Chains A and B, each alone.
Chain A
Amino acid sequence: MRIECPICGSRERREFYYQGADGMIARPDPDAGGEVWHAYLHLRDNPAGETRDLWYHEGGCGAWIVVTRNTVTHEVLGTRLASDAREAAS
């Protein structure tokens, strides 16, 4: 599996650390309540098919990257910087 780092270009999977679903970007308000925080910390969509997750380019530029990927075929469909993804969402 190779991942396209928006800064460094196409790199081997080994250079990246996997964090989890990209929902981690949308951190709830500290006062959002127990249920919201429980869902944020513990519950996952875990789709079979297209998913978006967070990878850290620890063996490269140190960027956090949102990777759009297929969990059934391991095909990488697209990448963007996590900072760009957060700006687009807000």
Chain B
Amino acid sequence: MRYSGFRIIKEALTGHRGWGPAWREPEPKAHYDIIVIGGGGHGLATAHYLASVYQQKSVAVLEKGWIGGGNVGRNTTIIRSNYLLDGNEPFYEFSLKLWEGLEQDLNYNAMVSQRGIINLIHSDAQRDAFTRRGNAMILNGADAELLDEAAVRREYPYLNFRDARFPIKGGLAQRRGGTVRHDAVAWGFARAADSRGVDIIQNCEVTGFRIQDGTCTGVETSRGFIGATKVGCAVAGSSGRLMAHADMRLPIESHVLQAFVSEGLKPILPGVITFGAGHFYVSQSDKGGLVFGGDIDGYNSYAQRGNLPVVEDVCEGGMAIMPMIGRARLLRMWGGIMDMSMDGSPIIDRTHIDGLYFNGGWCYGGFKATPASGYTFAHLLATDTPHHVATAYRFDRFRTGHMIDEKGVGNQPNLH
């Protein structure tokens, strides 16, 4: 069924009896050409592009719980392509372009809102660094705009421009950045993939890989063995746990990142503000809640909840940059588990096992990457060659010293 304005009117006049489920609930078949493990944003996007762009007819997505129940439903919904390094910026700009056409491609309202993002500048050194980053973005076909203090003040007059430690001196704006309704991304990709014949199998946990003579021939699951010619893993947050079944140690640690939503308020924040110097960023959802977050807690964790010191740190950051936030009450807070890689950048690559492919290491930046991650992982699975915007995301870059370290902090995952 195609969704449209006409369809809404028709259903309204006929008692909304014709909608039906947005995807099927198929039983697993004995064998698929390609199995994607993980029914989150990246796995479902991979399945969608496998079916639509790469014409694959036999694809399944296996999800241990329900689709969209992991990090795609636990993030702060921001999209942007404001990276510096050559290995990253073309990939994220490709992703932002896919976001711009996503709703037409999926025939699904994902509420893509290009409301703009501003990274605040507090010093001459930071202005130099952001000027360089803006130039790198423009060279890679993205948009960037350097703002002086007066320009930031015009848009956000209530920020704390005269803070003693971090006075606001300007900002780097990306007008095409913004927010997306995160759950709708999972549902939209699922519906589009399902309509092209992809089997989305929920409540099906992968408990092992069947590997014979260095070749992966399928997966053991809580619903029995399922054979596959190729298996792609897209379970960021749980990558360590899953790949341990293939006896792989990864250049990844799992860390918990917390996020927060205030009570609903009248519209006050038109775009996204990031206060990198104080580890705080904030936007406002269409329901009115201020959505904000800060740093990861900083120690290995698989618990989807954090500790109070980081809550205090994030709230201090908010009070420092936007003092009026102190009058808002916190409604919800939660934690999600991040694949923190050794250089802060992701991995999309083959493994040393034939037929087994890996997508992970997204740190806390996986949501914005969802369409490009799916597209390039689908390209790798279908063609056995890396997509040209994802050639740097190799497993062996750590061994060979080709790290993609945006922050330049080295192989210390909790600092990225």
Chain A residues, CB < 8 A from B302: 48-49, 71-72
| B-side contacts of A38, CB under 8 Å | 398-399
Evaluate whether A74 and B303 lie within 8 angstroms (CB atoms) in the complex, with A13-B309, A20-B412, A46-B240 already known: yes
> Which chain B residues border A71 with CB–CB below 8 Å?
254, 300-303
| Interfacial chain A residues near B413, Cβ < 8 Å | 20
Which single residue of chain B is at the shortest CB-CB distance from A51? B300
- The secondary structure that dominates the A interface is mixed
**Cβ contacts B402-416/A at 8 Å (1 or 0 each):** 000000000111100
Binds A, one of B67-75, B147-155, B192-200, B244-252: B244-252
Digitize B284-303: 1 where CB-to-A-CB distance is under 8 Å, 0 elsewhere. Answer: 00000000000000111111
Q: In this assembly, does B241 line the interface, its C-beta being within 8 Å of a C-beta of chain A? A: yes
Question: Does B307 touch A at the CB level, under 8 Å?
Answer: yes
**CB pair B398 A74 closer than 8 Å:** no
Cα–Cα distance between A18 and B254 once the two chains are bound (Å): 14
B307 touches A74 (CB 8 A): yes
Q: Interface code A32-52, partner B: CB below 8 Å = 1, 0 otherwise?
A: 001100110111111111010
- Let me know if B253 is at the binding interface, CB within 8 A: yes
B308 to chain A, nearest CB (A): 9
CA distance A53 to B412 in the complex (A): 13
A1 and chain B: residue at smallest CB distance: B307
Q: Once bound together, how far apart are the Cα atoms of A35 and B303, in whole Å? A: 32
Closest chain A residue, CB of each to CB of B305 = A74
Question: A13-B309, A42-B398 are known contacts. Are A48 and B299 too (CB-CB below 8 A)?
Answer: no
B342 within 8 A of A: yes
Chain A contributes a number of interface residues (CB within 8 A of B) equal to: 26
Query: Which of A12, A43, A49 has the most chain B CB atoms closer than 10 A to its own CB?
Result: A43
A1 vs B300: C-alpha distance when bound (angstroms)? 13
How many interface residues does chain B have, given as a range? 20 to 34
Least CB distance, A27 to chain B, in whole angstroms: 14
Beta-carbon contact of A48 and B240 below 8 Å: yes
Task: Specify the main secondary structure of chain B where it touches its partner.
Answer: mixed
A73 at the interface (CB under 8 A from B): yes
- Does B250 contact A46, Cβ atoms closer than 8 Å? yes
Query: Complex Cα distance A72/B302, Å?
Result: 5
Residue of B nearest to A16 (CB): B299
- Do A47 and B240 have beta carbons less than 8 Å apart? yes
Most buried by A among B238, B241, B302, B411: B302
Determine the distance from Cα of A89 to Cα of B398 in the docked complex, in whole angstroms. Answer: 28
Task: Determine which of A45, A53, A72 lies in contact with B303 in the assembled complex, contact meaning CB atoms within 8 Å.
Answer: A72
Complex Cα spacing A13 to B342, Å: 24
The residues of B that contact A47 with a CB separation of less than 8 Å are 240
A19's nearest neighbour on chain B, judged by CB, is B412
Contact yes or no, A42 B399, CB < 8 A: yes
CB atoms of B250 and A53 under 8 A apart: no
A73-B27 Cα distance, complex, nearest whole Å: 34
In the complex, the answer to whether A53 meets B307 with C-beta atoms within 8 Å is no
Q: Are A44 and B250 also in contact (CB < 8 A) when A53-B299, A53-B300 are? A: yes
Asked if A44 and B251 sit within 8 Å, CB to CB, the answer is: yes
Least Cβ–Cβ distance between B64 and chain A, in angstroms? 13
Contact residues in A for B252 (Cβ distance below 8 Å): 44, 46
Is B254 in contact with A46, judged by CB distance below 8 angstroms? yes
A44/B412 contact (C-beta < 8 A), A38-B398, A53-B299, A73-B303 known: no
Q: Nearest 6 CB-CB pairs, A to B? A: A46-B240, A43-B249, A42-B398, A42-B251, A48-B302, A18-B299
Q: Would you list 16 pairs from A and B whose C-beta atoms are within 8 A, ordered by A residue?
A: A1-B307, A18-B414, A21-B253, A42-B398, A45-B240, A46-B252, A46-B254, A48-B238, A48-B254, A48-B302, A53-B299, A53-B300, A71-B254, A71-B301, A74-B303, A74-B307
